[in-house]
Amino acid sequence: MAEHSEHAEHIVSPKVYAAILLALLVGTVLTVEAAKVDLGRLNIVVALTIATIKMSLVILFFMHGKYSSKRTQLVIVAGFFWLAIMLGLTLQDYSTRHAEPSRSQLTEPTSSLFIRS
């Protein structure tokens, strides 16, 4: 009989990998399309939300975080907590800055900005 080690690997179905890959590709398309839409100050929030969801999928499934030991899962949760702190501080800093005009609010054509008088 084959001996079972304490750290037996979890075998993930290729269908799960295909579904996660599809979700990551959809997330990439959403990121590109969200960048084309002028949401004002919400652009960064949307981009970071999509990136966090994609990162979670990679960690949980491709890096087998979902099937890891409790200690490893604790380290992953601590990493997410640290990420939440960093994103919170980043968004707090972003919210205190002066708003710059968005691309849709510019009235001058960009070519006239480079012509010297």
Please report which confidence band the pLDDT of residue 116 belongs to, taking 50, 70 and 90 as the band edges: low
Question: Residue 81: which residues within 8 A CB-CB, separation 6 or more?
Answer: none
Q: Please report the pLDDT score of residue 89 as a whole number.
A: 92
Q: Please report the pLDDT score of residue 93 as a whole number.
A: 87
- What end-to-end distance do the CA atoms of the chain give, in Å? 86
Distance (Å) of CA 49 to CA 11, 18, 55, 76, 111: 29, 22, 10, 18, 34
pTM, 2 dp: 0.65
CA nearest to 77, candidates 95, 104, 56, 61: 56
Q: Please report the pLDDT score of residue 1 as a whole number.
A: 46
With tokens 């652009």, the residue in question is 43
More confident site: 19 or 64 = 19
Judged by average pLDDT, the poorest of 6-15, 24-33, 97-106 is 97-106
SS3 content of the chain, % helix, strand, coil (to 5): 70, 0, 30
Q: Please report the pLDDT score of residue 65 as a whole number.
A: 85
